[in-house]
């Protein structure tokens, strides 16, 4: 990354434990404005926990989280609310409310944020559905949608407040390759057409090489490697190359 690139989020020496389990063990990392950063690593390595620190959903035991120059590590909930509005999060499994229509699901963060102007709400919902290429689907119920469509509705909800940054927790999980490709195009469109910064946790290697500007590999609660996808592909580090090729070390019969 060029030295003059602006930083959107920076974390410094983060530590986080849950009970006796030390999950983040001194993580320092930067997310640059306008980039797509992919977090990779084995299950349980702390990727989702790190991402939740970026948006203040978890607070560190020690270390700092700085969003656009503001240290949010010890912020009150009220001030944190303002910072969170800069970011949208697409949670694992989509997590839509089944009893609400698509339109009500997408409008939810706006209403929670105190927006009262119904015309504005409807306009933002409708634009968000257009961005995820599901125009005019407000009245549908989540149960009427395929898995891929649910993910796109979850994405529409994450971007309804026009955040500067979207955090994606395993957006490809459970999707067929073609639907995963649609999600990848949406991610890149958000970046190129709307200037959004994307941070993505995924295990889908094909997507990583399509969408990442930078890759950060976490291992056992620490940043093991950071670099460009081409460098990752060319890496001879067995840890990285076994991961990207899905090799466990056990041999297969020819």
> Which chain residues interact with ligand ATP by CB under 6 A?
18, 23, 41, 43-49, 201
- Of 201 and 216, which has the nearer Cβ to ligand ATP? 201
Instruction: Give min distance, CB of 88 to ligand ATP, in A.
Output: 18
Handedness of CA 190, 172, 149, 90 (dihedral sign): negative
- Of 32 and 168, which has the nearer Cβ to ligand ATP? 168
**How far is residue 126's CA from residue 40's CA, in Å, rounded to a whole number?**
33
Instruction: Give min distance, CB of 48 to ligand ATP, in A.
Output: 3
- Of 22 and 188, which has the nearer Cβ to ligand ATP? 22
Specify the 3-state DSSP secondary structure of 80: helix
* R_g of the chain computed on alpha carbons: 19
Instruction: Give min distance, CB of 50 to ligand ATP, in A.
Output: 7
Assigned token pair, 163: 């955040």
DSSP 249: S
**How far is residue 138's CA from residue 156's CA, in Å, rounded to a whole number?**
11
CB 166, CB 159: distance < 8 Å: yes
Instruction: Give min distance, CB of 77 to ligand ATP, in A.
Output: 17
- Of 107 and 211, which has the nearer Cβ to ligand ATP? 211
- Of 22 and 162, which has the nearer Cβ to ligand ATP? 22
CB 21, CB 15: distance < 8 Å: no
**How far is residue 39's CA from residue 58's CA, in Å, rounded to a whole number?**
17
Measuring CA to CA, how many Å separate 165 from each of 134, 137, 198?
A: 21, 25, 6
- Of 44 and 195, which has the nearer Cβ to ligand ATP? 44
CB 207, CB 172: distance < 8 Å: yes
Instruction: Give min distance, CB of 219 to ligand ATP, in A.
Output: 10
Instruction: Give min distance, CB of 133 to ligand ATP, in A.
Output: 27
């Amino acid at each position: 990354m060029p030295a003059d690139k602006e930083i959107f989020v920076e974390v410094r020496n983060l530590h986080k434990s849950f009970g006796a389990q030390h999950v983040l063990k001194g993580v320092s990392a930067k997310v640059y404005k306008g980039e797509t950063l992919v977090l990779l690593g084995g299950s349980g390595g702390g990727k989702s926990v790190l991402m939740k620190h970026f948006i203040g959903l978890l607070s560190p035991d020690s270390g700092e989280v700085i969003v656009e120059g503001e240290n949010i590590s010890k912020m009150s909930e009220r001030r944190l609310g303002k910072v969170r509005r800069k970011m949208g999060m697409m949670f694992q499994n989509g997590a839509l409310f089944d009893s609400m229509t698509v339109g009500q699901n997408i409008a939810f963060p706006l209403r929670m944020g105190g927006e009262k102007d119904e015309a504005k709400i409807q306009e933002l919902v409708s634009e968000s559905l257009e961005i995820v290429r599901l125009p005019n689907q407000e009245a549908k119920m989540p149960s009427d949608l395929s898995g891929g469509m649910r993910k796109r509705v979850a994405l529409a909800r994450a971007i309804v407040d026009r955040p500067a940054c979207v955090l994606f927790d395993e957006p490809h999980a459970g999707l067929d390759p073609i639907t995963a490709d649609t999600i990848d195009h949406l991610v890149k469109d958000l970046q190129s057409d709307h200037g959004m910064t994307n941070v993505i946790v995924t295990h889908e290697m094909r997507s990583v090489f399509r969408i990442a500007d930078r890759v950060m590999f976490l291992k056992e609660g620490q940043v093991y490697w950071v670099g460009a996808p081409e460098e990752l592909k060319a890496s001879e580090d067995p840890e990285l190359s076994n991961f990207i090729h899905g090799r466990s070390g056990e041999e297969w019969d020819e």
